[in-house]
Structure 1
């Protein structure tokens, strides 16, 4: 059903989402290209940074292009198989983003709290394994969503009050009893949301404790600046997700919940490249080199 039924708003929505999608895609791809083209950035920290950028591109590419096509063609139809596929991919990349932020927090914890052993602990094999495990867990979680929704019974024509196939909306629209599925999804969501967030908070508790023991002001500033961009992204990611959850719990309007979820699904992936590049001198320096070489 999209975000609005007003015909006069459709061109505005199309232009707004097209611009946000282009900024998100180009910004994240620029981060990936910058890291891959500069040998000085071939470290675990920047390897982990490039993976969330790739996940953000996949996340937004699953929802926004479909929405823009619907606006242009004045058709808001999606097939049953297409809906399941979209839901599965959105769940995959959303969960992957959460797990990768946790992996990045662990990387910063090792770099600041155990700097002498950093190169030994965060070796290329462990770095690749952490990303692979994160992807595997996310794949299982998204596959579980698809299996549960595929077991439900729906009417032939269903109106989804959202701009993409959001899992909780599909559970509410099912004809068959979905209470067990809802409990299971909320339980797994609490685990896959709560455990990574707990890991991030634990890592930063140890990081702050370690930084406060540093005697020099310059050393403290350097350590804080190393974690600043990641901490900003964590606050934006979990803050927007919590905001969407609270708004859905308080508001009974599905359309308002869809508007609130734009922050989590569109705005956050768009702002991530700016947070990583504007607060990181190495990234900015590498980008300038890349742009000069391209020019």
Structure 2
């Protein structure tokens, strides 16, 4: 010990130790310095700034054409068609995927086998190939007839007079996505404890009623996050409907305009901006939907709960 250091007196508590009154001295916490974070942040900002400067000064981007066509009526109409394709296809996918997931978990071996074959076909072939097939469907069948052979027809559908491109785009996207939604729903169902099903069976519920009233509502918190991702993926997959062919969607409109003015880059940027804007809205909706179905599962307390807890501790100390 050097002469400059002060030797603690007998009975004098050291740093952080309790004094004679029994109260501990407050410990001064010094945050750990992390210079690597600042260096990484500066480096990223510099790279982003260089990219933005290069893009702004590069005449090949043709930002004036981008601004001209960003809110063009044809581009806006294409964005509306893209939303329609996304919503209708996902409605088919969620409905059919739920049915397929229940079939895969059914005790009936015929239903299980049929669901497995469906998933094997639609997950094993590329979506682009499936859309090309649906585009050629009117060449295979001119009329669809439902009814008894050589008897009355319950339904007779003329394929040639349908809005074939749009209709088959929705069908092709929906049937393909249903195979993936079936696996998502099945994973959500399997996340529910077996005790829940046993309790429902003990109450006299059938297997189908147990699925509808007990299992599926609890499985939603597991199903919702990947379903939101699939919805965003479906929005971008609609750009593949050119295989049908269908050119009234967002990407199809941008491609047709660029084929005339020979400026594909600004038209691609305009369509990408619309895709990003719609995706951002969907991500916000997914966030609130996840929070809704995750109620009661998080340990994080709200501000009101923290205030009530602090008030309760104050009352206990006062006593």
**Larger RCO, structure (CA 8 Å, separation 6 or more):** 1
Q: Say which one has the larger Rg.
A: 2
TM-score, structure 2 as length reference:
0.29
